[in-house]
Amino acid sequence: MGQLSIILIVGFLCLFAYEPPEDIGPIYTTQTAFFYLILTIAPILLAYIVTTVIPRLLKSYQSLTASVFSNFRHFRLVFEVLCLGTFLFGLYQLDLPVFINYLFSFFPFVELRQSFGILPLIISLIGVRLVFHNSNRASEVRYTELLSFHLKFLLLPLAPLIIYLSMLDILVRLPEDIQLFLVKHPYLLIGLLLPVLAGAYIFAPLLMQFMWKTVPLSDDILKEKLENLTIKSKLKYRGISVWQTGSLLIANAAVAGTLKWNRRIFLTDTLLNYFTYDQIETIVAHELGHIRYKHIPTYILFSCLYLFSYPLFIIFVENPILQLLPVNVVEKYPLISSVGSMLFFLLYFIFGFRYVSRRFEHQADLYAVTLTNKPDAFIAALERLALFNSIPMSVRRIFELFNTHPSIHRRVEFIYRFIKGETKITRYQNYLIEVKVLFILLPIFCVVVLLLFFLI
C-alpha cells in the first residue's frame, strides 16, 4: 500500500504545481469530461485485460507467453504508475485544474476546490487494486469492505494536506495587511505546515479509530501476556485496540501516536483468530521496538527535513537547470517545471525514507527477539504474515528498494545472523547512525533556509 500513498501524493503535488496557460480557450464540458473518463478507466481496463482476459485465452496453452502473463498479474506497481501517467497527461494536456475550477465554481474555497482534481487518480488506483484482487483472490471478500478499505487507506496520507489547504483558504480571508506580511515572509507558511505534520503523527490513533472499526482487546489470557511484556519492556502506551477487518482477513499490527497518553497498539482480528499467543506476543514486541527506538518521532523529523531541504533544492538545483533550457521549451511543455520536484520527492521518500524504514524494521525485529527470547515463534509469525497478506517470501534486492519493509526471507536471515552473534548485526541494538545524522542535519537546514528567505 505504500506505493499507492507515494503515487497519490506525487499526483497531488503536481496538481498544485500546475500553472494554467495564458491562452485558455473555451471549455467544452461534455467532451472534456468524456476524455477524462477514458483516461481514468484506461489503466483499469488494461489491468483487467492483462490479469484476467489474456490468461483465460492462454489457459489451454503451456507456453512461455502464458507463463509470462501469469507472473505479470502480480505487478500492480506497473499499472499504478500508469494511473499516475494518465493523470499527468490529463493534468497538463487537458488542463484538469481549469476544468475543475469551472465545474466547481460554486464552491467558495479555492485551495480545497483544486484538490477535487485528485479524484480521477484515486478512482484509477482503487480500480486497479480491485482488478488485481479479483484476479489473485484466494477467498471470498465483500467488495464493499474492500472498496472502503482502499478508499480510507488512500485518504489517510492526504488528511494533513487537506487540513493545510483549509488553513490556506482561511488565511485568504484574513485582513489584507496580514496577507501581505505572509507574502513577504513565506517561511511562515512552512512553519504553518510543521504543526500539521506533527499533529498527524500525534493524533494518528484517534484518526485510525475514527476511520476503522476497532474494539478493545477482550482476550484475558492474551491481555495478561501482553501486560507482562509491557512491564518487562518498561515502555508505556495507552492500550491495545483490535481492528476488525471482516472478510478481508488482513493480518497486521501497528503502533500509532508519539505521546504516552495517546500511543496505541493496533492488532487486526485475523491475528487473534489465526496466530498463536507466542506469535502475537512477538509481533507486539516488534511494535514495542518501534517505541523503544523512537521511530515515530524520527519519521516526523524526516518529514520536517524534507520541508526545509526542498527550498534548497529549488534554489540551488531546479532553478539553475530550468534557466539553462530555452524559454519556449519550458512554456510549451509545462511538465518540465514539475519534473525536478517530482524526482526530488521520489528520491527522498522512496530511496531515502524507505532505506531508513527498512533498517528500522530490522531494529524492531531484533528487539522482539531479545525481549521475548522466542526467535522461532517470531520467525513463524513472519511466515504466517506473508501467507495471509499474499507477500512473497523473497524479493530481488532491486525491487526491495521500493519497499518500506525488507523481504521476509531477508528478515529471517537477519535474525539468524543476530543469534549467531555477528557484530555487524548486534549494532542495530543501538541508535542507528542515520538517526544521529538526521538530528544534526535538521537544525542546520532550518538555519540555512531561514537565512535564504531573509536574504532573498
Task: Give 250-298 as a DSSP string.
Answer: ---EEEE-SSTTT-EEEEEHHHHHHS-HHHHHHHHHHHHHHHHTTHHHH
pLDDT at 68 (0 to 100): 45
What pLDDT does residue 59 have?
63
Alpha helices in 314-349 (DSSP H): 319-324, 327-332, 336-346
Band (pLDDT 50/70/90 cuts) for residue 260 is: confident
Residue 65: the pLDDT is 44
- Sorting pLDDT into bands at 50, 70 and 90, what band is 72? very low
Residue 109, phi then psi, degrees to nearest 5:
-90, 110
Domain-embedded: residue 280: yes
Q: How do residues 330-350 score in pLDDT, each as one tens digit?
A: 777 777 777 888 888 888 888
Backbone φ and ψ of 251, nearest 5°: -105, 110
pLDDT of residue 418: 93
Mean pLDDT across 178-194: 70
Element (H, E) at 214: strand 214-216
Distance between CA atoms of 93 and 326, rounded to whole angstroms?
A: 20
Residues 23 and 124 in one domain: yes
Are 243 and 126 within one domain? Answer: no
Is 309 inside any structural domain?
Answer: no
Residues 111, 39 share a domain: yes
Place 86 in a pLDDT band, splitting at 50, 70 and 90: very high
Taking the CA atoms of the chain, what radius of gyration do you get in angstroms?
Answer: 24
Confidence grade of residue 44 (pLDDT, cut at 50, 70, 90): very high
Distance in angstroms (rounded) separating the CA atoms of residues 13 and 161: 10
Instruction: Please report the pLDDT score of residue 454 as a whole number.
Output: 66
* Single-letter code of the amino acid located at 372: T
The Cβ-side half-sphere exposure at 280, using a 13 Å CA radius, reads 25
Residues 168 and 250 in one domain: no
Count of CA atoms in the C-beta half-sphere (13 A) of 159 = 20
Domain boundary among 173, 197, 217: 173
| Three cell numbers written together for 200 | 498527524
In the chain, the amino acid numbered 138 is A
pLDDT higher than threshold 70 for residue 135: no
Residues 163 and 214 in one domain: no
The arithmetic mean of pLDDT across residues 134-153, rounded, is 73
256 forms beta bridges with 264
- What pLDDT sits at residue 4? 53
Phi, psi of 421 (to 5 degrees): 85, 25
In the prediction, which pLDDT does 184 show? 67
In a domain, residue 344? The reply is no
Buried b (16+ CB within 10 A) or exposed e, 126-143: bbbbbbbbeeeeeeebee
Q: State the amino acid at position 386 in one-letter form.
A: A
Q: Where a domain ends, among 120, 148, 173?
A: 173
pLDDT of 455: 65
Instruction: For residues 64 and 70, give the distance between their C-alpha atoms in angstroms, rounded to a whole number.
Output: 10
Cα distances (Å, whole numbers) of residue 387 to 32, 177, 244, 383, 408: 44, 60, 19, 6, 11
Asked if the model's pLDDT at residue 176 lies above 80, the reply is no
Do 213 and 157 have their domain in common? no
With respect to residue 328, please indicate whether it lies within any of the assigned structural domains: no
**Structure confidence at residue 70 (pLDDT):** 41
Flag whether pLDDT at 64 surpasses 70. no
> Which range (131-145, 154-168, 231-245, 439-453) has the least confidence?
131-145
Q: Are residues 218 and 148 in the same domain?
A: no
| Residues spanned by the domain of 52 | 1-173
Sign of the alpha-carbon torsion through 403, 408, 409, 414: positive
Residues 270 and 136 in one domain: no
Q: Do the domain assignments include residue 187?
A: no
Total domain count, the chain: 2
* 239 plus 155 within the same structural domain: no
**Claim to verify: residue 150 and residue 259 sit in the same structural domain:** no
Would residue 234 count as lying in a domain? yes
Residue 218 belongs to domain with CATH number = 3.30.2010.10
Instruction: Give the pTM.
Output: 0.84
Mean pLDDT of the region 25-44: 86
Q: Between residues 397 and 263, which one has the greater pLDDT? A: 263
Q: Which residue has the cell 460554486?
A: 106
Which run of H or of E encompasses 240? strand 239-243
Highest mean pLDDT among 101-115, 179-193, 275-289, 290-304 belongs to 275-289
| Structure-model confidence comparison of residues 439 and 97, the more confident one | 97
Rounded to whole angstroms, how far apart are CA atoms 321 and 49? 41
Residues 398-435 have pLDDT tens digits of 778 778 889 999 999 999 999 998 888 888 888 777 77
With respect to residue 329, please indicate whether it lies within any of the assigned structural domains: no
250 and 138 within one domain: no
Beta bridge pairs of residue 253: 267
Amino acid 456: pLDDT: 59
pLDDT digits (tens, 9 = 90+) for 236-256: 888 889 998 877 888 999 998
pLDDT-derived band at 82, boundaries 50, 70, 90: very high
d(CA 41, CA 43): 6
Whether residue 195 lies inside any domain: the answer is no
pLDDT on residue 62? 47
Domain boundary residue, one of 118, 149, 173:
173
Tens-place pLDDT, residues 195-211: 877 888 888 888 888 78
Q: Hey, CA dihedral for 99, 100, 104, 105, is it positive or negative?
A: negative
Structure confidence at residue 277 as a pLDDT band (50, 70, 90): very high
Instruction: Report DSSP state, residue 212.
Output: S
Q: CA dihedral in degrees (418, 424, 427, 432; nearest 10)?
A: -120
Residues 279 and 138 in one domain: no
